[in-house]
Amino acid sequence: MTLTIKELFFIVFYIYRKTSRDTGMKPNNLTAEQYSIFKENGTEPPFNNAYWNNKEHGIYVDIVSGDVLFSSLDKFDSGTGWPSFTKPVNNNAIITCSDPSHGMIRTEVRSKSSDGHLGHVFADGPAPTGLRYCINSASLRFIPVKKIIEEGYSDYIYLFENTPIGFEQIIIGGGCFWGVEAYFKKVKGILDTTVGYSGGTIKNPDYTMVCTGTTGHAETVLITFNPDIVNLERILKHFFSIHNPGTLNRQGPDIGTQYRSALYYINDSQKITIDTIIQQITSRGAIVTTEVAKAIHFFKAEEYHQDYLDKNPGGYCHINLNKIYQF
């Protein structure tokens, strides 16, 4: 008996589906509900899911691949009990296909990279697209704006540049990140700090790799601040007061490119402020070797580095934490 290509395809597909179900395979540690919806085209209950009423700003990513799918800026209350969006962030991240299930013809929305079921799209949404992407929460992971850079999605922070979100962020490097973080935690108006690695070419480096000086990364601190309490100009004054921007690749006894002075800005407005402050410093004859560049990647450091001096009082610090400047 000779089988057609189509028949062979369905036999292979059947074996794959049966094997994956029989062996209980659940990619990326999906919960039973997530697996049922994402991999078996299920539907979660309306008004009883994670994101249907989520009003916080941020991005929604594929639960498996992590690809960015939707943004809070395009989310609206459709009254259906499921997260609804007028459009995806990136059309290339999704695919649509006809779904004849349940005795009706609908347009299914699937993740392109992981081929998972997301939901359906309907032509009854608001302007400007007139579309309603009705998506299952279980197929998504939400990343709030303040965690976008920390989670490695700095390419998407631009989406919220003109959105009032109550805070700003900047990445700074002024030597060992233990002391820099500890100092800024004492500054009024700082909402959050996270230490990590920035400015290099290696993805997801660890501390040992960065210490070799071959990754190009600097030890940095991602600072989240309330500009109504402490604006960027004042933060920069603190920054230039607690370290020596004139020493290249060195702060105190710490020597290496990972200890360089660096500022990684989020938007062009921040760069203008940085350039202005540096010009003021150099006009007085001071040397500034600080690297200034657009923030591209921030890789969160290992957990034991986070809040290190809180966990280890009296630990090494190249900054005088007993003196908090007033600006």
Q: Which residues are catalytic?
A: 134, 176
Strands (E) located in 35-150: 58-62, 68-71, 75-76, 84-85, 94-99, 106-111, 117-122, 132-135, 140-144
DSSP state of 199: S
3-state secondary structure of 230: coil
6, 110, 117, 285 from 18: Cα distances, Å: 18, 21, 18, 73
Nearest 5°: the CA angle 150, 154, 155 is: 160
Residues 6 or more apart whose CB falls under 8 angstroms from that of 14 comprise: none
Is the Cβ–Cβ distance between 30 and 63 less than 8 Å? yes
Phi, psi for 237 (deg, rounded to 5): -65, -40
255 dihedral zone (left: phi>0; alpha: psi -120 to 50; beta): beta
